[in-house]
Structure 1
Amino acid sequence: MRAEKFEWDPEKSQRNLEKHGISFVEARALWEGPVIELDTNSGTDDARWKVIGMIAGKHWAAIITYREGRRRIISVRRARRREAESYDRFAGRNEADNR
């Protein structure tokens, strides 16, 4: 884990809750278990990372950046099928674990 503390834009967290059904406060739970962290190389000033993990038995994907030792959450959504499959391979899960 590269950072213990989180930050985010509260208005963006509210929009994310309305659009994807999860706030950034709730999304912090993503880091309570194993995660895959991928460099998205988005070309922005801040390097962005896609983080895939599980919350309450469901796969989620977050986009974050690191600023001054904090994780800044940019967005969170349900993981796409391929992202979930990649996570399951990484975490040693199989389809039976999803039932």
Structure 2
Amino acid sequence: MRAEKFEWDPEKSQRNLEKHGISFVEARALWEGPVIELDTNSGTDDARWKAIGMIAGKHWAAIITYREGRRRIISVRRARRREAESYDRFAGRNEADNR
């Protein structure tokens, strides 16, 4: 699914910045390059997706949902090793690219 507009809870963005070192404003950069979006099947009313991509040379993972044509950011953190490896395979990157 594609959405060019974003939305989020400003208080949650601030808490995310304090906990993970990135605000949701900064996290929008995740979609400026190749990104994987995986259905998390969370069982909630809103379908949730995990987006994995790169910001400033580092792997990040975001949990998002789509509402009325907007991408709603729920949380963002550094990607785990396996997530980063999956992204690298998807994007055609290799270990040397991470140095």
- TM-score, normalised with respect to structure 1: 0.99
Distance 2:2 2:93 in 1: 24
Deviation at 1:68, TM superposition (A): 0.3
RMSD: 0.6
Deviation at 1:28, TM superposition (A): 0.1
- Which segments of 5 or more consecutive residues in structure 1 lack a partner in the other structure? none
Q: Deviations along 1:24-43, whole A, 9 cap, x unmatched?
A: 00000000000000000000
Describe the superposition over 1:19-70 as per-residue Cα deviations: whole angstroms up to 9, x where unpaired.
0000000000000000000000000000000000000000000000000000
TM-score, structure 2 normalization: 0.99
Provide the rounded CA distance (Å) in 2 between the counterparts of 1:64 and 1:98: 25
Distance (whole Å) between structure 1 residues aligned to residue 26 and residue 20 of structure 2: 12
Percent of aligned pairs with the same amino acid: 99
In structure 2, distance between residues paired with 1:34 and 1:12 = 25
Secondary structure at the aligned position of 1:25 is classed as helix
1:75 positional shift: 0.1
Whole-angstrom CA distance in 1 between matches of 2:31 and 2:2: 11
User: Which 4+ stretches in 1 moved above 3 angstroms?
Assistant: none
Partner of 1:41: 41
- Give the count of matched residue pairs: 99
Structure 2 unaligned residues grouped into runs of 5+: none
